[in-house]
Amino acid sequence: MLITVDLSNPKPVYLQITDAVRSAIAHGSLQPGDRLPAIRETAVQTRVNRNTVGRAYLELEHQGLVRARQGSGFYVTDDGTERERALRQEDLDGQVRDLVADARLSNTSTERLLEMVRECAETLDRGDDHE
Amino acid sequence: MLITVDLSNPKPVYLQITDAVRSAIAHGSLQPGDRLPAIRETAVQTRVNRNTVGRAYLELEHQGLVRARQGSGFYVTDDGTERERALRQEDLDGQVRDLVADARLSNTSTERLLEMVRECAETLDRGDDHE
Amino acid sequence: MLITVDLSNPKPVYLQITDAVRSAIAHGSLQPGDRLPAIRETAVQTRVNRNTVGRAYLELEHQGLVRARQGSGFYVTDDGTERERALRQEDLDGQVRDLVADARLSNTSTERLLEMVRECAETLDRGDDHE
Amino acid sequence: MLITVDLSNPKPVYLQITDAVRSAIAHGSLQPGDRLPAIRETAVQTRVNRNTVGRAYLELEHQGLVRARQGSGFYVTDDGTERERALRQEDLDGQVRDLVADARLSNTSTERLLEMVRECAETLDRGDDHE
DNA sequence: GTGGTCTAGACCACC
DNA sequence: GTGGTCTAGACCACC
């Protein structure tokens, strides 16, 4: 798994790191029992301070996705994959609720909203093809 | 125009106020040249501090929707209605983009996403019926 | 002398009226001893409330430019013309001081500032020719 | 960068702070990506309330010069330097237009106005020499 | 630690 | 009356 960090991105660096790890867990490139890249290693590779990487890993531990083993490293928990998917689904559900509510507030019909989502997805697809 | 504030709503009070005014502008109940209710008046009516209402109005001024006249009040700008509609569309566009991007990150297909939006809208509709 | 009021102008109506009267005094079309148009007359002619015109005249009285005579009307004071010119000069002096100070703050040289003033005046002249 | 506040200055404190930051951006001592001194830090250093500093920073954010990152601080935006220079030019242009227009209203010739500006600048220069 | 929101209350300028 | 500025201090979210 590869972790990339963009310092010009307004998203905090530690969140960029947790997102990268979470994506790897969601995609299966990191599975229950797998070890995360060492903090030092990730710090060197991303040119980020070790404390920042440590904080990102600690955050993942708080979410129950990984577990630290003294002197050994961070490992994806047994139910890490499930938890990750559940968390992600919750986030997406919340976003959809917010979007639908805001569309109401701006007098945008459900049909128009669905169209906007479809168009946006297609634009992204076309962009992906070219990359 | 009526401004209501819900303190249990996680959305900051000052944004609830800007939203109420923006809706009134969008719906035409506040038109270019119209005066907003005075800061003190809105403060009393919503039981919110004057400063908070003032901050909401300042925000609206920064968005170019209203303009303060010293000693007189806040008035909807000449292009307030257009600006309001343009801003609203921008906001929704951004939300849709974020949602679609996040759906990708969680391996949610566009079809599934559209379904989620449709379901959420229907749930809201049913809720509206009962109220 | 003609007083015109533009309701869409952000400048308060009563100030538009005092400005018109002051200009008439400065230009000499209203001289010491001359009577101002009656409040009622001006109100009808400008389609503005009588109270607003009254307030404008009161303001002019506070500035020592005119004097009310019970049951007769408002008259330009003996030293109205001088006072008007002195007030106007003061205002302009203050504006010049502010401008020069602000130019300093924005690293604009005096030469550049003089050029800006000259250009702006020429543009106004050209605009005036065409009207 | 050093921010100084003069309570005897009629200019509102929060604008004195925005001016100081804007000057630092214009001069290059604050560049895109640089962090502004923390709100609390500036508040202590200038002996001004936190809210007032916060309001100044918010103003800068509305002008697109800086951007807040939750829990991290305020950072000069990528196009902050350009925006700052464009805003500054706009401000000065507006002031010059107002001055020239007011000079017309008081029958002051362009030549006389230029002279006033020149004199005022020289007086300021002499004052600066003595300091 | 950082910024974000809110209140209560004072005082001011313009009107 | 109207909005504009400022303080002191509380509490919160994110970090």
Query: Same structural domain for residues C70 and C98?
Result: no
Window from A40-49, A74-83, B46-55, B67-76 with minimum mean pLDDT: A40-49
A9, pLDDT greater than 80: no
B68 occurs within a structural domain: yes
Query: Which two structure tokens, joined as six digits, stand for D22?
Result: 């804007």
A17 occurs within a structural domain: yes
- Residue C30 — pLDDT band, cuts 50, 70, 90? very high
Q: Does D19 touch chain C (CB under 8 A)?
A: yes
- Calculate the average pLDDT of chain C: 87
Domain total of chain A: 2
B118, pLDDT greater than 90: yes
Query: Same structural domain for residues D42 and D93?
Result: no
Which residue segment(s) compose the domain that B62 sits in?
13-78
| Domain final position from B78, B95, B118 | B78
Looking at the partner chain, which of B92, B100, B116 has a beta carbon nearest the beta carbon of A108?
B92
Query: Same structural domain for residues B66 and B113?
Result: no
Nearest chain C Cα to D115, which residue? C114
**What pLDDT is attached to residue B131?**
47
Which among C88, B69, C125, C117 is positioned nearest to D95, based on CA atoms?
C117
D103 occurs within a structural domain: yes
Query: Same structural domain for residues D118 and D88?
Result: yes
Q: Does A6 touch chain D (CB under 8 A)?
A: no
Query: Same structural domain for residues C67 and C87?
Result: no
Q: What is the per-residue pLDDT across C70-115, written as a single tens digit (0 to 9) for each?
A: 889 999 999 999 988 888 888 888 889 888 988 887 778 999 999 9
Query: Same structural domain for residues B94 and B73?
Result: no
Query: Same structural domain for residues A18 and A66?
Result: yes
A102, pLDDT greater than 70: yes
Judging contacts by C-beta atoms under 8 Å, the chain A residues touching residue D67 are: 10
CATH number at residue A26: 1.10.10.10
Query: Same structural domain for residues C93 and C113?
Result: yes
C116, pLDDT greater than 50: yes
Query: Same structural domain for residues A21 and A61?
Result: yes
- Cα distance from C29 to chain B (closest Cα, Å)? 31
**What pLDDT is attached to residue C50?**
86
Protein residue minimizing CA–C1' distance to F15: D71
Query: Same structural domain for residues D31 and D73?
Result: yes
C2 occurs within a structural domain: no
**What pLDDT is attached to residue B44?**
96
Query: Could you tell me which residue, A112 or B130, shows the higher pLDDT?
Result: A112
A102 occurs within a structural domain: yes
At a CB cut-off of 8 Å and minimum separation 6, what does B92 contact? A99, A102, A103, A106, A108, A113, A116
SS (H, E, C) A84-117: HHHHHHHHHHHHHHHHHHHHHHCCCCHHHHHHHH
**What pLDDT is attached to residue D126?**
83
Query: Same structural domain for residues A72 and A39?
Result: yes
Residue C84: phi, psi to the nearest 5?
-60, -45
A130, pLDDT greater than 70: no
d(CA A39, C1' F15) / Å: 19
DSSP string, D25-77: HHHTSS-TTPBPPPHHHHHHHHT--HHHHHHHHHHHHHTTSEEEETTTEEEE-
- B99:A96 CB<8 A: yes
Query: Could you tell me which residue, A6 or B19, shows the higher pLDDT?
Result: B19
DSSP string, C27-91: HTSS-TTPBPPPHHHHHHHHT--HHHHHHHHHHHHHTTSEEEETTTEEEE-TTHHHHHHHHHHHH
Which among A13, A93, A79 is positioned nearest to A52, based on CA atoms?
A13
- Residue A119 — pLDDT band, cuts 50, 70, 90? very high
d(CA B112, C1' F12) / Å: 36
- Calculate the average pLDDT of chain A: 87
A2 occurs within a structural domain: no
| Domain final position from A35, A56, A78 | A78
Q: At what angle do helices B110-130 and A80-105 cross, to 10 degrees?
A: 60
| Domain final position from A78, A96, A117 | A78
A106, pLDDT greater than 80: no
How many Å apart are CA B26 and CA B88, to the nearest integer? 9
Judging contacts by C-beta atoms under 8 Å, the chain C residues touching residue D15 are: none
**What pLDDT is attached to residue D84?**
95
A48 occurs within a structural domain: yes
C26 occurs within a structural domain: yes
Query: Same structural domain for residues C41 and C73?
Result: yes
**What pLDDT is attached to residue D130?**
53
* Spans of chain D below 70 pLDDT: 128-131
A70, pLDDT greater than 70: yes
Amino acid at D87: L
A88, pLDDT greater than 60: yes
Q: Mean per-residue pLDDT for C56-61?
A: 89
